[in-house]
Structure 1
Amino acid sequence: MARRWTLRRQLTLLYAGPFLVSGALLLLVPLLGARETVPVPGQGQGPSPQAPDTVTAGNHLLGLSAVALAVMVLVSIVLGWVIAGRFLRPLRLIIDTARDISATNLHRRLGPTGRRDEFAELAGTLDDLFGRLEAAFAAQRRFVANASHELRTPLTAQRTLLQVALSDPDASSDGLRAAGREVLALGEAQARLIDSLLTLATGEQGIERPAPFDLAAVARRALDARSDAARARGITVTASLSPAPVPGDESLAESLVANLIDNAVKHNVDGGRVDVATDGSTLTIINTGPVVPHAELDRLFQPFQRLGAQRVRATGDGYGLGLAIVRAIAKAHGAELSATPRREGGLTVTVTFRP
């Protein structure tokens, strides 16, 4: 197996190589001078009595120059090795510390190096990376814990219903049917949760082959599908849908718009209002509802979160995944997502796609 050429070896050769080349070029000067002192035979002049001494002196000078060059090359290699080691010492420290942090404890940081050079920039960049990784892993752990809890809750309820029904020797057919209907309802709740989790995971994967679609048509279909739910609560829905051709994944965009409209209808007040508009490549949804504190806004876009509760339980209001799905799909499209609480209550949400 060939030995790896480390950066220190490469820098050592980089230091010693130019010195060797320049020394060899300088060595040619006495060599050429020695040759010029030797007379050319056949020119009608006899050899000078001093010519042998001149040649001997030139050869001696050439030998001394070659020995000096060899010694200086060795010295330059040693000095290059030492200088390269001192120069790369901060990099080796950064590598060892970063390896230890990634393997054992993401809470640690490289911290300030006391330098003001590229190594300090590298340490700062790695600290930022470790911070993002720590936040991502913490969010993943919370997501897995919440998802497993939400999936376990209906499973436990189903098991309890079936055990009670089977342990009752006098259970009537009506009672068994009622238990069966409750088990089916819990199964449908699980299916909805799994569908939401799959949509969230698909949105986070990104888009491989974007295709053009009309955002206004997507919004129109989502509004038509939810008109009955809005009408049942007396919510007025207005739409101003101008053609909005954008590239992306149309099915994911439908999930984004559907979740925004669902959120606007479910978390509204009876007799409230929902305004949906498309303009160019921008979708805007405005809804009335309870007042949303600015401090709570970012949390609402995290999985299993809802206004007024640290986590969401399996209720008819959903699982708190709607806005998290919206954020994931917007990120997959490279779209700009912004949400602004309204002073009188509710939210103004805009999603601007890349044209």
Structure 2
Amino acid sequence: MPASNRLRWRLTLLYSLATLVSGAVLILIVISLSAGLPPTDVAQTPRSMGLPRPPRVETGVRIGSADSETQNFKERVLITPGLALLIMVPISLGVGWLIAGRMLRPVRTMTGRLQRISGRNVHERLAVEGPRDEFKELADTIDALLGRLETALDGHKRFVANAAHELRTPLTVEHALLEEPLIDPEAGVEEYRASFERLLAVNRQRGALLESLLTLAGSESARETGVPVDLDAVVRDALHGLAGETTGGVTGGTAGGTPVSVAGGLTVTATIRPARILGDPTLLARLVANLLDNAIHYNTPGGTVEVGTRQLDGYARLIITNTGPEVPPDQVERLFEPFQRLRRVADDGHHGLGLSIVRAIATVHGATLQARPRPGGGLSVQVLFPVDHVG
């Protein structure tokens, strides 16, 4: 028997059994109610009609005939419904089979659609229409589950892409540090020691990054294991880290409140006010670094970058604004997707993952990410971190 028909047969037998039990109960009720009734073809006696009994004595033949008719009547009351009940057995099986098939049709339809859904078309939905019944609720629940599954698969893909992107730079640095003393024939112990110390520092940073990426993969646990972090201190460290580091041809930075010109003709202005949140320090440092890198790299000669933090209305606000080429409003959301850039330039060292990492980290911390194009060109990005329950 096919597995798809087992439930249908069970429902059919259940319907038939219910019919038989109901019929048997009905027969018992009929027999019980008709036990004291005479058959209709037996003449009623004067006594049964409430008249005085005539003085003539009834013959035994007459009495025996009445008793025989009564007995036959009772037998017919039992046999006739029983035969009708036996006739109903195959009828109830057929009707039960049709009813079970009709009731299970939505389930078969949903099963067929689900069997066609795979990793390539997980975006498809059952989209069952009709009244709000149990099957509609089941289909809507499955559609919601498919939506969460699609989000998880997309998150997994982004995680792999982000991990590969973030690990590429440390690997390049490690290769250079290993190669540097080897190509110098006069390199001594001190040079090797210095290279090894730098390698250890890079290795520690990469280990911390890997731990953070694993935390990013499980976004729920990342929020639960957050620690109090001074967002203003993270921004200051990121700005100080710009000094001596080449980022798209721009070096330098400031953590103060006055404008400072940096290489490339850019001016960086930072207005830092205290702001404390719960989160992962390494992930938050990566978020700030990616936003700064985006603001500096996608800028124009002589442009500006404005960085600010503050705490207001229950939120810690990080705002980074930069001048640059004009950004169409309908393209802003696309910039936060993996591998998406407004203008792609070959071999520029950017792969369009920076802002997608920013959005993922913001989501991990329950933050709201707002981005809008600036009049005249550039982008303004604001991240609102909730500060509830911060110790």
Task: Give the TM-score of the pair, scaled to structure 1.
Answer: 0.67
Q: Tell me if structure 1 keeps the 8 A contact 2:177–2:199.
A: no
Q: Tell me if structure 2 keeps the 8 A contact 1:277–1:284.
A: yes
Distance 1:310 1:107, change over 3 A: farther
What's the offset of the Cα at 1:142? 6.3
After superposition, the C-alpha distances for 1:123-145 in whole angstroms (9 at most, x for unaligned) are: 78767866775675466446536
Q: Tell me if structure 1 keeps the 8 A contact 2:316–2:385.
A: yes
After superposition, the C-alpha distances for 1:87-139 in whole angstroms (9 at most, x for unaligned) are: 4244324313422433x8537957888x7467688778767866775675466
Which segment drifts farther, 325-334 or 127-136?
Answer: 127-136
CA distance in 1, matches of 2:170, 2:282: 24
What's the offset of the Cα at 1:205? 1.0
Larger radius of gyration: 2
After superposition, the C-alpha distances for 1:49-107 in whole angstroms (9 at most, x for unaligned) are: 423422322222212212322331442133212332244244324313422433x8537
Which position in structure 2 is the counterpart of 1:198?
211
Which position in structure 2 is the counterpart of 1:96?
112
Q: Tell me if structure 1 keeps the 8 A contact 2:27–2:82.
A: yes
CA distance in 1, matches of 2:231, 2:166: 30
Question: 2:301 matched to 1:288?
Answer: no
Which position in structure 1 is the counterpart of 2:80?
64
CA distance in 2, matches of 1:258, 1:128: 34
Q: Tell me if structure 1 keeps the 8 A contact 2:155–2:217.
A: no
Distance 1:271 1:111, change over 3 A: closer
Distance 1:158 1:273, change over 3 A: closer
What's the offset of the Cα at 1:202? 0.7
RMSD between aligned residues: 4.9
Amino acid at match of 1:15: Y
CA distance in 2, matches of 1:264, 1:352: 15
Which position in structure 1 is the counterpart of 2:37?
37
Amino acid at match of 2:214: A
What's the offset of the Cα at 1:184? 6.9
Gaps of 5+ in 1: 39-44
After superposition, the C-alpha distances for 1:26-46 in whole angstroms (9 at most, x for unaligned) are: 2133201332238xxxxxx99
Gaps of 5+ in 2: 39-52, 243-252, 261-267
The 5-angstrom pairing of residues 155-234 of structure 1 reads 155=171, 171-173=185-187, 177=191, 181=195, 192=205, 195-208=208-221, 210=224, 218-226=230-238, 228=240, 229=242, 230-231=253-254, 234=260
Which position in structure 2 is the counterpart of 1:41?
none
The 5-angstrom pairing of residues 258-297 of structure 1 reads 258-266=285-293, 267-268=295-296, 272-291=305-324, 292-297=327-332
CA distance in 1, matches of 2:238, 2:166: 25
Which position in structure 2 is the counterpart of 1:42?
none
SS in 2 for 1:173: coil
What's the offset of the Cα at 1:289? 1.1
CA distance in 1, matches of 2:82, 2:19: 14
User: Greater share of helix residues, 1 or 2?
Assistant: 1
CA distance in 2, matches of 1:51, 1:219: 105
Which position in structure 1 is the counterpart of 2:48?
none
Q: Tell me if structure 2 keeps the 8 A contact 1:101–1:109.
A: yes
Task: Give the TM-score of the pair, scaled to structure 2.
Answer: 0.62
Q: Tell me if structure 1 keeps the 8 A contact 2:127–2:143.
A: no
CA distance in 2, matches of 1:127, 1:311: 40
CA distance in 2, matches of 1:264, 1:335: 15
Q: Which of the numbers 369, 377, 382 marks the counterpart of 1:337? A: 369
Distance 1:304 1:343, change over 3 A: same
SS in 2 for 1:272: strand
Distance 1:205 1:142, change over 3 A: closer
Question: 2:249 matched to 1:237?
Answer: no
> Could you tell me the percent identity over the aligned residues?
32
CA distance in 2, matches of 1:140, 1:212: 22
SS in 1 for 2:375: coil
What's the offset of the Cα at 1:158? 5.4
